Amino acid sequence: MARQDRKEQTDSHSAPTLGVGMVGYAFMGAAHSQGWRTVGRVFDLPLRPRLAAVCGRDAAAVRAAADRHGWAAAETDWRDLVARDDVQVVDICTPGDSHAEIAVAALEAGKHVLCEKPLANSVAEAEAMVAAAGRARARGQVAMVGFNYRRVPAMTYARRLVADGRLGALRHVRVTYLQDWLVDPDFPLTWRLDRRHAGSGALGDLGAHIVDLAQYLAGEPLVGVSALTETFVRERPLLAGASAGLSASGGLPAPGGAGRGAVTVDDAAVFTGRLASGALATFEATRMATGRKNGLRLEMNGERGSLAFDLERLNELSYYDGTEPAATAGFRRILVTEPGHPYLEAWWPPGHALGYEHTFTHQARDLVHAIASGTDPVPSFADGLQVQRVLAAVEESAEKNAVYTPVAPVQEV
């Protein structure tokens, strides 16, 4: 429970201060830190975020993270962070098994909350979080779930085009999210491969993103799914010094572990779905796609046009206008870097590209504005619950789907 403070750097910005406390400091913690540290230097904000405190169980490691990322203090117990008077927003970047407990406690303590996706490890936990957020909303607090890919300017602009009717009635949505970091069967057993901590595997880690994007861009929910999941490598080496295959630093690989442990989550999930309008959707989420590092691709087909997006070219959209004459029609590239595009008014001249880290700056911007104006942030905890329900339906469908043996081929006479 040790707390280690350092002198706050002065800031000449005259807006009132908004103290941020973050729980978790590994990959997502670093990304969120970048967003909070940058947002007030890029956007004109009604409140000035102050990086008040970061929390982690390892005192030395969290102190080092605080120094690296610009946090004024370090805590080793999240309850102490929530109780701090200089923290008004609690940002949760921990494994999913602690989301509900921390979020509910923070909301009951009068704090605003930002929680990384997926919202929880189960529908019941997500429902409890939504209920707590509803009670807090009546007291003027807000709660938001961190689906950062909504904040890619090209993705936000795609939603605008769909809402403006540029595609007409939607027919198809297809989304894939492909990674390869589990291809090596000797990759260690991290917390992301343990159902007790992660809830699910590629489904919750990657599938949550693509389910949210499909519903967000379409502007309507999924109402049915049919799924298959698979775990290709069922045992992996344990991490050094971690009896449950988990490292104190948040699940990062460490050499020298003894023995092997069971992988209790999926490596890959494929599923089809139907949107409320009747449009069909297909999804693939895997951490076993050799050669794919962070390959998120999306395409939408409507009666009047189509849109496509590739995260590896995240400043671009590909758009087909089906109302043009066939002689000149074709997919065209839209470079989403103009000042009139979402979020771009605060950044660089047209043609100067943004990157992955900017999505967290945009996320912080939107949350600060929601807090200052007292409006509901998007995506809300209710949006996170909707995604959680879809993920649960995918798992249920995968468990029930039988594997059918094809009819034997006809033998030549």
- Alpha carbons 390 and 208: distance in angstroms, whole number: 9
* Domain-located, residue 193: yes
Quick check: 405 pLDDT over 70?
no
Give CA 285 to chain center in angstroms.
14
Confidence class for position 83, pLDDT limits 50, 70, 90: very high
- 160 and 143 both lie in a single domain: no
- Alpha carbons 134 and 140: distance in angstroms, whole number: 10
Retrieve residue 90's tokens: 């609690």
Quick check: 11 pLDDT over 50?
no
- 140 and 159 both lie in a single domain: no
- 141 and 241 both lie in a single domain: no
Q: What is the pLDDT of residue 408?
A: 64
Retrieve residue 134's tokens: 């509803």
Closest residue by Cα to residue 253 from 295, 341, 192: 192
Task: Classify 214 as helix, strand or coil.
Answer: helix
- 99 and 113 both lie in a single domain: yes
Q: Residue 280: give the domain boundaries.
A: 153-313+315-354
When pLDDT is averaged across residues 305-330 and rounded to a whole number, the result is 97
- 170 and 141 both lie in a single domain: no
> What CATH number does residue 119 fall under?
3.40.50.720
The domain tally of the chain equals 2
* Domain-located, residue 274: yes
* Domain-located, residue 366: no
Q: What angle do CA 221, 374, 30 make, to 5 degrees?
A: 70
Domain boundary among 114, 148, 182: 148
> What CATH number does residue 175 fall under?
3.30.360.10
Residue 175's H or E segment, with its range, is strand 170-178
Give CA 163 to chain center in angstroms.
23
Domain boundary among 148, 179, 212: 148
* Domain-located, residue 6: no
Quick check: 336 pLDDT over 70?
yes
- 112 and 202 both lie in a single domain: no
Give CA 134 to chain center in angstroms.
22
- Alpha carbons 269 and 403: distance in angstroms, whole number: 15
Residues 6+ apart with CB under 8 A from 9: 70
* Domain-located, residue 246: yes
- 105 and 159 both lie in a single domain: no
Percent of the chain clearing pLDDT 90 (strictly above): 89
* Domain-located, residue 392: no
When pLDDT is averaged across residues 69-97 and rounded to a whole number, the result is 98
Task: Calculate the alpha carbon distances from 223 to 122, 180, 226, 363 in Å.
Answer: 18, 30, 11, 27
Domain boundary among 119, 148, 177: 148
Strands 316-321 and 260-262, bridge-based pairing:
unpaired
- 193 and 78 both lie in a single domain: no
φ/ψ of 132, rounded to 5, equals -65, -40
- 140 and 184 both lie in a single domain: no
* Domain-located, residue 397: no
- 190 and 330 both lie in a single domain: yes
Q: What is the pLDDT of residue 401?
A: 85
Confidence class for position 4, pLDDT limits 50, 70, 90: very low
- Contact in structure between 267 and 232 (CB atoms under 8 Å): yes
Quick check: 256 pLDDT over 60?
no
Retrieve residue 279's tokens: 């449009």
- 83 and 129 both lie in a single domain: yes
Looking up tokens 């700056």, which residue turns up? 361
Q: Any idea which of 79-83, 288-292, 409-413 has the lowest mean pLDDT? A: 409-413
- 178 and 320 both lie in a single domain: yes
* Domain-located, residue 374: no
Q: What angle do CA 47, 53, 59 make, to 5 degrees?
A: 170
Residues 6+ apart with CB under 8 A from 135: 107, 108
